[in-house]
Chain A
Amino acid sequence: MNATNRTPGASIDIRKASKRYGKFVALRDLDLSIRPGEFMTLLGPSGSGKTTTLNLIAGFTEVSSGSLEIGGKSVLGLPSHKRNIGVVFQHYALFPHMSVGRNVAYPLTLRGIGRAERDGKVRHALEMVKMADFAHRYPNELSGGQQQRVALARALVFDPPLLLMDEPLGALDKKLREWLQLEIKRIHRELGTTFVYVTHDQEEALVLSDRIAVFNGGQVEQIGNGRELYDHPATLFVGRFIGESTVLRGKADIVGGDTVVSIAGTKIVASGKISGHAAPVILLRPERAVLHRPGTGVVDGENRLSGIVEEAIYVGSGSKYDIRLKDGTTAVVRSPLGAPEFAIGDTAEIAFRPGDVTLLADDASADITLT
């Protein structure tokens, strides 16, 4: 915990890991590398394999096949109590028969650390999570947020090189969650420990992480920082899971080096083309499009799609519109303050440049998993 004897973060290397429960495949051939000291978030819908991956790292379950190394050493077959990894659970898991102080001292007592050193470390860990005044309280006297901070102190007090967190803020209300996210981020910066964080909340992932691994169907679809995932999603699933988006589908042709998709009779040009045989779809981010009144502000080479404003919401930094296109698709557009404003029922034209959209291979499963 002190700057002097801080344990450096551990790396994690998972290769070709699979986990089967009977016929159900929770993970298939997972490859995942986490760098020392990194804040890595495993993001995905429920059942996508992110918690299974965390449990494998923690040693709560074993892989069916594949390899798992922590800090360059294989930990296959090593029981969880010998892995020296801190774990924070969604349900806090504080021992109800021990005071806060004894809860935090528990891992130190197990490691045979003497009383004086133990007391110092416990106090330090509780100060780090701003719970030093609560050492004599019992868990049932604390709020959810306070309990989770104690759990965090308990998981870090023995200076593990790796901290795992399984939806730790899932049971807390929004304000508290946002504040604790910043606290967790600060603690990560202070310690340099490797953090692996599981969540299904993409906003939380964007706030916290150095990199995010997006899980779907027991595999990692893409790993990258928030900007990479948002601006350059590798799959339609990632594009739809991270942030808001509009997916435009239609009959596609390759013209020159570009892809032309016809949507409700309008030809839309997107730069580039996709490899493979799947049908291409266009992914449009809400900030990349500009709304115009019909026939105004036309710029050569820009795409134009006409629709009816179905919903208009003032969001402070601007407005958010749902535009219903002729083919029934609802497009989401965010306009900054000062842009022309539209009312529900108005006809609007969505304008965007061919280079501002992402072409992706169509994947029907991306829609199903998101509902």
Chain B
Amino acid sequence: MQLSSRIFLGLFCLLVAILLLAPTLVVIPMSFNSNKSLAFPPAGFSWQWYDNFFTNPEWLLSLRNSFLIATVVAILATTLGTLAAFGVTRAAARTGGLLRAILITPMVVPGVVLAIGIYAVYLDTGLVGTVAGFVFAHTMLAIPFVLIAVSASLEVFDRRLETAAASLGAGKLTVFRTVTLPLILPGVLSGALFAFITSFDEIIVALFITSPYLKTLPVQIYSSITRDADPTVAAVGTLLFLATSFIIVAGLLIGMRRGRT
């Protein structure tokens, strides 16, 4: 390749990277603002918004809610999504394709449309503003991610190993526990991670079914920023950014170690 075109390509990639990172890079300095405003560039330096986040019960409660809901969602969606992935990959090709298309709709349908439907049903059933309501809605949104991650693992899984295990004396459940699950575990774990994050940062449906007594962290961020432009949201944003980066880097490192052995 010509030197000039390589330089051009490099610059272009840099530009795209800046574009992708810009919103995040704006949030971090804002979180250390010493004024009570979301202005960029920030003025001065202070830890006060981090302090506020960790001392204000409203913020802590919403964080706790989000963690609780996301954890239950991760467990539920991973279980259901894994079972669905088995069904889809092991059904006849046409049935499996149809099932997969149906199961993936929550990813395709606009969030607002889903939110309206969920809200309408929840009004009648009294699920608005309840943990169960959040868990149901988010589980539905998270299942497609689990399905995709686990079926990718199942497609490369050698089913003949199950036959071999059966011939050695393992019943169906034992085969699953000792052979199938350990080998598709990377897919299951990444599905669980996706499910957790899907619930943890979900805002559209949450805005519809939230109540003053039950707010998740994204809802709290949203209402805080629309009400009084509180720079605490920048501190929360920075913390979330660090937490997710940590999880993803850890995941990549584990994946690399597995790949080597």
Contact = CB atoms under 8 A, between A and B. Distances in A.
A81 B166 contact: yes
B161 interface: yes
A106 interface: yes
Contact of A87 (B164, B170, B182): B164
Given A81-B167, A84-B169, A110-B169, A95 B160 contact: no
Interface string A52-93: 000000111000000000000000000111111111010101
B167 A58 contact: yes
B183 A158 contact: no
Q: Which of A83, A106, A158 has the most chain B CB within a 10 Å cutoff?
A: A106
B189 to A, nearest CB: 14
Nearest to A86: B167
A36 interface: no
Interface string B149-170: 0000000001011011111111
Contact of A80 (B167, B174, B178): B167
A95 B179 CA distance: 7
Given A95-B179, A96-B183, A97-B182, A107 B160 contact: no
A154 interface: yes
A111 interface: yes
A89 B164 contact: yes
B168 A110 contact: yes
Given A95-B179, A110-B169, A89 B160 contact: yes
Contact of B169 (A58, A96, A158): A158
Interface residues of A, number: 26
Contacts of B167: 58-60, 80-81, 83, 85-87, 155
Contacts of A110: 168-170, 174
Contacts of B164: 87, 89, 93, 95
B160 A97 contact: no
Interface in B207-240: none
A153 to B, nearest CB: 12
Given A60-B163, A91-B160, A93-B160, A158 B168 contact: yes
B255 to A, nearest CB: 15
B166 A80 contact: yes
A39 B140 CA distance: 57
B162 to A, nearest CB: 9
Interface in A250-298: none
A60 B164 CA distance: 10
Interface in A130-151: 138
Given A96-B183, A97-B182, A97-B183, A106 B168 contact: yes
A95 B177 CA distance: 13
Nearest to B182: A97
B160 A81 contact: no
Interface residues of B, number: 18
Contacts of A58: 167
A79 B160 contact: no
Contacts of A158: 168-169
Given A93-B161, A106-B178, A79 B168 contact: no
A205 B20 CA distance: 65
Contacts of A93: 158, 160-161, 163-164
B111 interface: no
Contacts of A111: 169
A110 B165 CA distance: 10
A60 B160 CA distance: 11
Nearest to A140: B261
A83 B158 CA distance: 23
A56 to B, nearest CB: 13
Contacts of A85: 167
A298 to B, nearest CB: 61
A155 B169 CA distance: 10
Nearest to A107: B168
Nearest to B178: A106
B171 interface: yes
Nearest to B183: A97
Given A95-B179, A96-B183, A106-B178, A81 B161 contact: no
Contacts of A59: 166-167
A148 B174 CA distance: 24
A128 B174 CA distance: 28
Nearest to B174: A110
Contacts of A97: 182-183
Nearest to B163: A60
B183 A81 contact: no
A39 B165 CA distance: 24
Nearest to B169: A110
B169 A95 contact: no
Contacts of B174: 81, 110
Contacts of B169: 81-82, 84, 107, 110-111, 158
A81 B182 contact: no
A284 B166 CA distance: 47
Nearest to A90: B160
Contacts of A87: 164, 167
Given A93-B158, A110-B169, 6 more contacts: A58-B167, A60-B163, A87-B164, A93-B160, A97-B182, A110-B170
Interface of B: 158, 160-161, 163-171, 174, 178-179, 182-183, 261
| Closest 6 pairs between A and B when the two form their complex, measured CB to CB | A93-B164, A87-B167, A107-B168, A110-B169, A81-B166, A80-B166
11 contacts: A59-B166, A81-B167, A81-B169, A81-B171, A83-B167, A91-B158, A93-B163, A95-B164, A110-B170, A155-B167, A158-B169
